[in-house]
Amino acid sequence: MDLSIIDFIHYFNLSFFVLFALLYSYHLVYMLVAFKAKKTYKPLVEDVHLHKYAVIIAARNEEVVIGQLINSIKKQKYPKELIDIFVVADNCSDKTAQLARQAGAVVRERFNKIQIGKGYALDFMIKVIEREYSANEYDAYLVFDADNLLSENYIAEMNKTFNQGYRIVTSYRNSKNFGQNWISAGYALWFLHEAEYLNLPRMALNSSCAVSGTGFLVDAGLMKENGGWTYHLLTEDIEFSVAQILKGEKIGYCRDAIFFDEQPITFEQSWHQRMRWAKGFYQVFAKYGGKLISKFFLEKRNKLSYYDMAMTIMLIVVVTGFSILINGLSYLAVLFGFIESIDIDTMTQQFLQSLGWSYGILFVTGLITTITEWKKIHSPGWKKIAYLITFPIFMFTYIPISIVALFKDVEWKPIPHTVAKSIDEVR
C-alpha cells in the first residue's frame, strides 16, 4: 500500500511535468527569441505620416489621479493638434468629471447601474465620438485607465508601429508603485515579463500579441467595422484580443512606448481583482476556446497565434495548481491519518519536490525579467531583489483564486487609486 500511493504520486508528478513541458515549451522558445530580439533590436525610424488620435480614458471616481494622466498626455512630443482627450466619467460620485474638464479633456458622464464595467464605458465614448466628432476624422483610439502615466514619446512611438500596418498595438507596461510592497511588485514584474518575454517574441515571430487591459491603440475603422466595443466579459481586454485574432488580425507591440500604471497594494484588493480576471479567463475560454483549437487544427495560417491564445486563456496557474492540489491533498491525508502506514517523510519529500519545481520555474522567470529590465524598474535595488524572492509566492496565490473563481459568481468592482504622481516623480 505504501508503495502504491508513493508510486502514484511519483508517476503523477513525472507525467504532469512532461505534459506541462509539452504544452508550454513554446514559452522557452519565446524566451530564447526574446533574448535575440533584445540584442538585435533597432528603434523604428521616424515616419512622416502623423495620424490623428482620440485618447479615451474610462474613469470611475478617479479624482486623485485623472489630472496627472491628462497632463502627461499634454506633454507628449507629438503635434498637439493631432491629439484630443476624451474622458468618460462612468458612474462617478466624486469630482472626476469636473477635474478632467479643468485639465482640458472632453468629458461625458455616464450613469448606468445595470451595464457595469469598462467595456460598456468604452463603447459609450466611442459612439459619442463617432456621432459628435466624426468631422475630426480620427485615425485611431488610444485607450488608458485613469491611473496611467505616459512617457513623453509614447504617442510618437505608437504612431511608428501603427504605420507598420498593425490595426491594434499594445505597449510596454511599467509600474508607478513597484516598490510599495510585495503585491504591487508581483503585478509589476509579471506585466514586464508579459511585455518583453511574450509580446516581443510574438512580434519577432510574426505572430499576434495580446492587449493587456490598458495602454493600447485600436484603429478607428476597425471599431466602426466592429460596431463599437462589443466585448463585455469580465476580462474585456483578452476577449477583444482573442476575438480579433480569430478574425485574422495581428496585434502589434511597441516596446518603446512606455506607460506606467498603479498596482493594488492590499491582498483584499488583489484577491477581488484577480478573481475577476480568473473568472473572465474562464468565460473567454468557454466562449472562444473551441474556436481557437478548431482553427489551430484546420487552418494553415496563424497556428501559433491560435495555440498561444488557447494556452493563455486556459490559465497556466490552474494547470500548475492542479499538481500542487493533488500532492497537497495526498500529503494532508497521510498527515491526519486518513491513509495509514505511509512514511510521512517520504510524502513530505514528494510534496516539497512538487512545490519546489513550481517555485523554481517562477523564480527563474522573475529573475530573468528583473535582470534584463533592471534599469526600467524604478525602485531601490534591495527591493528588486527582495520582491524577486516573493514573486513566486504572489503567483502561487493565483491557485486558490482560480479554484474559487470556478464556483463563485463574480462582479466587476473598482479598485481605488491613490498614487498621485507626475511622470517625473515616478521615474
Domain chopping of the chain, boundaries = 1-42+49-413
Q: Dump pLDDT digits (tens) for 116-173.
A: 989 999 999 999 999 999 999 999 999 999 999 999 999 999 999 999 999 999 999 9
Q: Dump pLDDT digits (tens) for 303-315.
A: 999 999 998 887 6
Position of cell 476624451?
Answer: 86
Helix ranges (H only) for 154-219 are 154-162, 182-194, 200-204
Q: What value does the mean pLDDT take over residues 93-108?
A: 96
Strands 83-90 and 53-59: parallel
CB 96 within 8 A of CB 146: yes
Q: Dump pLDDT digits (tens) for 164-210.
A: 999 999 999 999 999 999 999 999 999 999 999 999 999 999 999 99
Q: Dump pLDDT digits (tens) for 36-73.
A: 999 998 888 877 799 999 999 999 999 999 999 999 99
Separation of alpha carbons 344 and 409, rounded Å: 38
Q: What value does the mean pLDDT take over residues 381-405?
A: 92
Position of cell 474613469?
Answer: 59
Confidence of residue 350 (pLDDT cuts 50, 70, 90): low
Q: What is the reported pLDDT for 4?
A: 62
236: which residues sit within 8 A by CB, 6+ positions away? 117, 118, 119, 122, 229, 280
Type of residue numbered 12: F
- Asked if pLDDT for residue 377 goes beyond 80, the answer is yes
Say yes or no: domain 1-42+49-413 is CATH 3.40.50.720: no
285: which residues sit within 8 A by CB, 6+ positions away? 313, 314
Confidence of residue 405 (pLDDT cuts 50, 70, 90): confident
Choice between 135 and 425, residue whose per-residue pLDDT is larger:
135
Q: What is the mean pLDDT of the chain?
A: 89
pTM: 0.90
Helix or strand or coil: residue 107? Answer: strand
Using only C-alpha atoms, what is the Rg of the chain?
23
Report the Cα 45 to chain-centroid distance in Å.
28
- Which segments of 80-195 are extended strands (E)? 83-90, 106-110, 140-145, 149-150, 168-175
Q: What is the reported pLDDT for 23?
A: 78
- Asked if pLDDT for residue 340 goes beyond 60, the answer is no
